[in-house]
């Protein structure tokens, strides 16, 4: 499978930390998805200082390094759903608002603009029934396909695992070592091309050793 994302402005914008918190309480949950994960598909943002859009804005727009660091450390992977992620983000901001008397503001034109995304998923027509074939297929997958199977799968599936793990689990214990190694790949502090390389290498290494 492969996917393509399209961005939609929700029309909400925040000029300061309090407005950011207020918008976060009600904004579309797809907005959290976009601002935490969407950066991976917008490749130009892979070299920004912090890991998600909220943290980057806190740093660049509000000049509040402290809250930027705290927001940046929120790991969306450990949340079972976006509502849980929403609660943690609000909690971090509430804490910052509690400890500071001064509410940082962004200059006009530097407001935080809330954006959500729609994902169009389509079938690439590629089918395999032998896991070993993945060692050759993964290096040639599009980055958006990697995004779909690695990132989107965590939101989409009940187990919150990537698609490769779930598929391999269907073979019983045969690939349990490979599953364990796949499970510790952290997709958050990386780019999609690095993720593709890391996963591809893992499959290559595994099947080379087991040959």
Partner 1 sequence: MKSLLEQYAVIVGNEVIDHLKQLAHPLKGMKILHINSTKEGGGVAEILNQLIPLKRELGIDAEWEVIKGTPEFYQCTKKMHNALQGTREEISDTLLKAYEETNRDNYEQLRSRLQEASVVFIHDPQPAPLLRYCKDCTGRKGKWLWRCHIDVSHPFRPVWKYLREYVEGYDASIWSLADFAQPLSHPLYLIPPSIDPLSDKNRELTENEISEVLSSWNIDRNIPVITQVSRFDRFKDPIGVIQAYQLVRQYTPVQLVLAGGSATDDPEGAQVLAEVKEFAGNDTNIHILELPPDAHRAINALQRGSDIVLQKSLREGFGLTVTEALWKGKPVIAGQTGGIRLQIINHYNGFLVNTPEGAALRLRYLLKHPDIMETMGRRAREIVLNNFLITRHLQEYLTLVLALIYGSEDTIEIKMHATA
Residue nearer to partner 1 on the CB measure, 82 or 103: 82
Q: How far is the CB of 187 from partner 1 (least distance, A)?
A: 18
Q: Which two tokens stand for residue 173?
A: 């214990």
Q: How far is the CB of 174 from partner 1 (least distance, A)?
A: 30
Q: Which two tokens stand for residue 202?
A: 């893992």
Q: How far is the CB of 167 from partner 1 (least distance, A)?
A: 18
Rounded Cα gap, residues 4 and 155, in angstroms: 16
Q: Which two tokens stand for residue 163?
A: 């698609």
Give the N- to C-terminal CA distance of the chain in Å, as an integer.
28
Map tokens 């598909």 to a residue: 41
Rounded Cα gap, residues 169 and 185, in angstroms: 17
Rounded Cα gap, residues 33 and 164, in angstroms: 21
Q: How far is the CB of 33 from partner 1 (least distance, A)?
A: 8
Helix (H, G, I), strand (E, B) or coil at 196: helix
| Contacting residues toward partner 1, per CB under 8 A | 2, 4-9, 11, 13, 30, 33, 42-45, 47-48, 109, 111, 113, 115-125, 140, 142, 144, 152, 156
Residue nearer to partner 1 on the CB measure, 25 or 127: 127
Q: How many CB atoms lie within 10 A of CB 191?
A: 16
Residue nearer to partner 1 on the CB measure, 95 or 193: 193
Q: How far is the CB of 52 from partner 1 (least distance, A)?
A: 16
Residue nearer to partner 1 on the CB measure, 61 or 131: 61
Rounded Cα gap, residues 74 and 58, in angstroms: 14
Residue nearer to partner 1 on the CB measure, 5 or 17: 5
């Amino acid at each position: 499978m492969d996917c393509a994302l399209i961005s939609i402005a929700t029309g909400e914008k925040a000029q300061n930390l309090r407005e950011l918190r207020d918008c976060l309480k009600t904004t579309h949950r797809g907005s959290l998805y976009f601002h935490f994960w969407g950066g991976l598909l917008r490749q130009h943002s892979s070299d920004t200082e912090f890991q998600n859009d909220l943290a980057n804005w806190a740093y660049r727009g509000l000049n509040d390094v402290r809250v930027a660091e705290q927001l940046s450390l929120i790991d969306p992977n450990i949340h079972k759903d976006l509502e849980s992620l929403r609660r943690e983000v609000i909690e971090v901001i509430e804490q910052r608002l509690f400890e500071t008397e001064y509410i940082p503001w962004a200059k006009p034109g530097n407001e935080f603009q809330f954006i959500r995304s729609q994902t169009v998923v389509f079938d690439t027509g590629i089918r395999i029934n032998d896991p070993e074939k993945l060692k050759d297929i993964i290096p040639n997958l599009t980055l958006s396909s990697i995004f779909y199977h690695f990132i989107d799968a965590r939101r989409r599936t009940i187990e919150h695992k990537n698609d490769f793990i779930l598929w391999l689990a269907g073979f019983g214990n045969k690939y349990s070592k490979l599953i364990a190694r796949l499970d510790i790949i952290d997709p958050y502090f990386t780019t999609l091309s690095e993720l593709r390389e890391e996963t591809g290498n893992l499959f290559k290494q595994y099947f080379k050793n087991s040959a």
